[in-house]
Structure 1
Amino acid sequence: MATTTISLPEGTEAHRGAVLHFLDDPGNNPEAITGSVEYIEDGLLCVHDGKVLALGKAAELLPQLPDGTKLTDWNGSLIMPGFIDTHVHMPQLPVMASYGTQLLDWLENYTFPHESRFQDADWARTQAEQFTQLLLAHGTTSGLIFCTSHRASVDALFEAAERQGMAMTAGKVLMDRHAPDTLTDTARSGYEDSLALLDKWHHRGRQRYAITPRFAPTSSPEQLALAGQLASAHPDVLVQTHWAENTGEIAWTRELFPDRTSYLDVYDHYGLLGTHTVLAHGIHIDERDRQRLTETGSRIAFCPTSNTFLGSGLFDLAGARSAGVMVGLASDVGGGSSLSMLATMAEAYKVCRLRGQTLTPWQAFYLATLGNARVLHREQELGNFRPGQQADFIVLDHRASPLLAMKEPYSRTLLETLFDLMILGDDRAIAATATGGILRYRRATASLGESLTDSAHTAAAGQQGT
């Protein structure tokens, strides 16, 4: 927080409102957050050239703004870093809320037929554009994304993300068996396509590549071995896949890989575990699995809405954390039923309660921002408002819906306001979303965000009150 005079160059833009971000993991005790949370009731976020320049009290920073500075006053709403989603499927938007099946039937009946359409490059571009726009409308500015097995789907996603200034990590699905011919590749073609896409997109601007076997049953041993070779040759590239989501999936994996001691051992054997690996789900696991995850530094993406919707099971968040496993939070659309990280937090809270655990608002909002940035190795650019970070932020309106407005007078603390947002909030609570300091989305009905320019910031400083 600024307490002294700093240099704010011409071209600085400023956003005023209550500001909240995380400096470290707050843990899961609502009373023990000292040093991990920074909250400024009347704050000013200063942005220059797409990055955070300064954050501090409005009373201290307003007088330092250069003449001509564009100042947006968000009228007391809550400014936070943009949400980050650690597991979501770009091609599965239209299969959200598909009725009545568990994982394997759901893939065959809904997912595979729809993903087959992405061999059409025009269709892929249309869907990728819709996907990125909907993410922004839900406050998500970055994520780890599954595309399809078609190269065109990956190009389309990254192109759309570039246009929106988003920081995406994504990859072509590797799948050379147990799927329709319209979706399968071969071990060799999957490797070559992945390498070409990696060379094209990894570290191109804000984009990153992820090696992406769908899950062990749909990849042959040869394909998994080549994926492991690719990961070894490019250690800063993420690996993403699914793991231990459904009991039927686990039994099938055991049949297909009888020489391996466990589902996790399949990925371990082929060199696919490590600090850059994100395994979606991890529901039906034991202490040996958790120990191996800790030893290798592999991470889990906790996907509560899809796990409950598909009836897969209840993730043991406390067990993973106590074992030292790094965990992210994810929507898993289309198995998940909402792109909203607020809705995802609500379902995560319910899963924890059914496990006899809890999830504080501090921990939930940390996971959706800085925690998920750490899972994806992007905490040096994303996740909070340290100077030099990319200026990805959202404006949360905690009076956006009738229920939130009803609760607002009864929320006496910031903790209670955050809990209202995570339990009752949805896309209506997102008043605005910015990437790289540029507003990419603004809710049509939002009355928030009065823009002031030139010397108007001086008058605003005089009106800031106590």
Structure 2
Amino acid sequence: MPTGADTPAGTPAGTPAASRFALRGRIVTLDEPGTVLDDGILYVTGQLIEDIRPATAPAPPGFDQVKVVDTGGSVYPGLIELHNHLPYDVLPLWLVPKKYGNRSQWGGSGNPAYHRLVTGPMTALGEDPLLMPAVVRYVEAKALVNGTTTSQGIALFSNAGARRMYRGVIRNVEQTDTPDLPEAASRIADVEAGDAAKFLARLQQPHRLLLHLAEGVDDAARAHFQALQFQPGTWAITDNLVGIHCTALTAADFTTFAAHGGSMVWSPLSNLLLYGQTADIAAAKKAGVLMGLGSDWSVSGSKGLLGELKAARLASTAAGSVFSDRELAAMATRDAARILRWDHALGSLRPGMRADLLVVDGAQGDPYTALIDARDTDIRLVAIDGTARYGTPALMRALAPGATLEPAPGSAQAPLVLNLHDHSADPVVAGLTLAEATDRLTRALDTLPTLPAHPAPPPPALVEGGVRWRLALDEIQPTGAELRPRLPLRTAAGTLSPTGPLIDLATVAPEALEAVVLDGLTASTDTTFLTTLSGETNLPTDYADQLSHLLK
């Protein structure tokens, strides 16, 4: 980073003394009053925003010798995604064959096509010690090139049940490793998943818990919400409960949910692709439910939050223009931070906040509409904790001098580069380039029918104390914790029924798999994604055409 004076008091430990820079552009703070500086300068020291001033104002102390870098664009807080299943983001968009009523109908072992196209390939990747770090590298880079600085939905396990590899370039909601960003949980023990009273006790711990809630549109999906009421008028809902999807909730349900402090993650594209409709967002908004956004996964969702913002606007418009562009932008920034209790550190641009930044080209028109309209080709910079991670060569060289920069694939017309080095990353991921990860995954997915049933033993770098690490996949093998957590259904007799069978790894026959194309990093360069999107039959009339137009 550009050099300046010594590190000031309050700069996080380990921050280089010379880590100061200043960015000029339209500064869209996303603070509560909606402050926008049409021509401003954002000053960063280390990991933190030092100040924000009009371009005509004097620089703050210590920045007299720091060259101002003109972005030529609009500066926003980094995008915070509250729902994804990141390992699956190597897989292409699924041409969904029909509308489903609830998640169990498409995601269980009774769906051979899903098993062949999703579960089987991910089992092969997750069991291979050389492919696992390639998955991590690829999906983190994919988040970056789509403007995302924080995401959710990773899981790695060993026979000791631990995780380690997602300590890389993007923030991880479940593993922050910093006390000012409390970690959220997305896995719950099976005993808690099966008992609403125990689940309520779990919610009273000091963690947000992300729970797949009423995913689907039929009575069976809604019953998973009703299972939260374990005594008349007593609900296992607190402000620590973050409901993912909530597509089956009625207006009365949203009133109950909001009254107990629950918040929600909206994933409109995935909902529409699988179920033909999304949550009753008008009812949720009327009830006062705080909402964030999630792209879910590439199998039935957007490639990242920049795309999901477009899907959300189209869904909002179809529902009667429920949300303004400013409200939608807040869902991916300030409101997402509020849900996580991170709003003192992230989600808006203010002095003292962490310097997670997204810069898109241009500074004209409504600033919130400009963010949602921005294509992935319009991104000029993504920075996390004050470190430039992705952007134009000029901006990256100015903000990360000396960093090893890697060309981003598919950006020949407007070259962009990545800075994927991170001193805290796991060694087996840290030394892996995106190009190498892409090559490994491309070859593996192309040869799935011939992959061995049992991969070779892992190299020593992947083993600690005899523990072998692998991806914990959402439908595969019980691990003592729910990876797509939800309470099971309550039967008429008052007992709880299972949520559906898991996939048995023994049923995954390599010869039954088909070759799969690695999903492209960005929508603008992935004609296969756009073609598949145009053929999706569950989307509302003209929705696919409108979304494709916004993404190209």
Is TM (by shorter chain) over 0.5?
Answer: yes
Is the counterpart of residue 414 in structure 1 residue 384 in structure 2? no
Which residue of the other structure, out of 217, 236, 243, is the alignment partner of 1:247? 217
Superposition pairs of residues 138-217 of structure 1, within 5 angstroms: 138-147=146-155, 155-160=163-168, 164=169, 166-170=170-174, 203=178, 208-213=183-188
Q: What is residue 381 of structure 1 aligned with on the other side?
A: 345
- Distance in 2, matches of 1:151 and 1:352, equals 44
Change in Cα spacing, 1:339 to 1:272, as seen in structure 2 (3 Å) is farther
| One-letter code aligned to 1:170 | E
Change in Cα spacing, 1:229 to 1:278, as seen in structure 2 (3 Å) is closer
- Secondary structure of 2:29's match? strand
Decide whether the 8 Å contact of 1:120 with 1:152 is kept in 2: no
- Distance in 1, matches of 2:226 and 2:162, equals 29
| One-letter code aligned to 1:265 | Q
- Distance in 1, matches of 2:381 and 2:292, equals 24
Change in Cα spacing, 1:119 to 1:170, as seen in structure 2 (3 Å) is farther
Deviations along 1:432-466, whole A, 9 cap, x unmatched?
1001111011146xx6678499xxxxxxxxxxxxx
Decide whether the 8 Å contact of 1:71 with 1:452 is kept in 2: no
Decide whether the 8 Å contact of 1:240 with 1:277 is kept in 2: yes
Q: What is residue 540 of structure 2 aligned with on the other side?
A: none
- Distance in 2, matches of 1:8 and 1:39, equals 28
Q: What is residue 426 of structure 1 aligned with on the other side?
A: 375
- Distance in 2, matches of 1:382 and 1:345, equals 19
- Distance in 2, matches of 1:373 and 1:331, equals 16
Q: What is residue 77 of structure 2 aligned with on the other side?
A: 81
- Distance in 2, matches of 1:105 and 1:439, equals 43
Q: What is residue 231 of structure 1 aligned with on the other side?
A: 202
- Distance in 1, matches of 2:399 and 2:251, equals 56
- Distance in 2, matches of 1:243 and 1:204, equals 28
Decide whether the 8 Å contact of 1:17 with 1:74 is kept in 2: yes
Decide whether the 8 Å contact of 1:314 with 1:355 is kept in 2: no
Q: Please report the TM-score for the alignment, with normalisation by the length of structure 1.
A: 0.70
- Secondary structure of 1:155's match? coil
Decide whether the 8 Å contact of 1:213 with 1:224 is kept in 2: no
Which residue of the other structure, out of 268, 271, 284, is the alignment partner of 2:248? 284
Q: What is residue 26 of structure 2 aligned with on the other side?
A: 18
Q: What is residue 492 of structure 2 aligned with on the other side?
A: none
Change in Cα spacing, 1:17 to 1:229, as seen in structure 2 (3 Å) is same
- Secondary structure of 2:227's match? helix
| One-letter code aligned to 2:212 | H
Q: CA deviation at 1:38?
A: 1.0
Superposition pairs of residues 252-267 of structure 1, within 5 angstroms: 262-267=223-228
CA RMSD of aligned residues (A): 3.4
Decide whether the 8 Å contact of 1:303 with 1:336 is kept in 2: no
Deviations along 1:196-251, whole A, 9 cap, x unmatched?
xxxxx76478672414259xxxx677655697277256x22221121222135x52
Equivalent pairs counted in the alignment come to 371
Which residue of the other structure, out of 34, 37, 45, is the alignment partner of 2:34? 37
Decide whether the 8 Å contact of 1:91 with 1:127 is kept in 2: yes
Which residue of the other structure, out of 438, 455, 460, is the alignment partner of 2:387? 438
- Distance in 2, matches of 1:148 and 1:155, equals 5
Decide whether the 8 Å contact of 1:91 with 1:148 is kept in 2: no
Greater Cα offset, 328-337 or 58-67: 58-67
- Distance in 2, matches of 1:44 and 1:151, equals 50
Q: CA deviation at 1:138?
A: 1.1
- Secondary structure of 1:297's match? coil
Decide whether the 8 Å contact of 1:21 with 1:37 is kept in 2: yes
Change in Cα spacing, 1:126 to 1:207, as seen in structure 2 (3 Å) is farther
Change in Cα spacing, 1:151 to 1:287, as seen in structure 2 (3 Å) is farther
Decide whether the 8 Å contact of 1:44 with 1:57 is kept in 2: yes
Decide whether the 8 Å contact of 2:154 with 2:166 is kept in 1: no
Which residue of the other structure, out of 50, 57, 61, is the alignment partner of 2:58? 61
Q: CA deviation at 1:361?
A: 1.6
Between the two proteins, what is the percent identity of the paired residues?
A: 21
Q: CA deviation at 1:287?
A: 2.9
- Distance in 2, matches of 1:210 and 1:67, equals 44
Deviations along 1:245-300, whole A, 9 cap, x unmatched?
2135x52x68xxxxxxx421324549853212211111121133112211221111
Task: Indicate the structure with greater strand content.
Answer: 1
Change in Cα spacing, 1:207 to 1:452, as seen in structure 2 (3 Å) is closer
- Distance in 2, matches of 1:125 and 1:152, equals 19
- Distance in 1, matches of 2:141 and 2:39, equals 30
- Distance in 1, matches of 2:159 and 2:182, equals 16
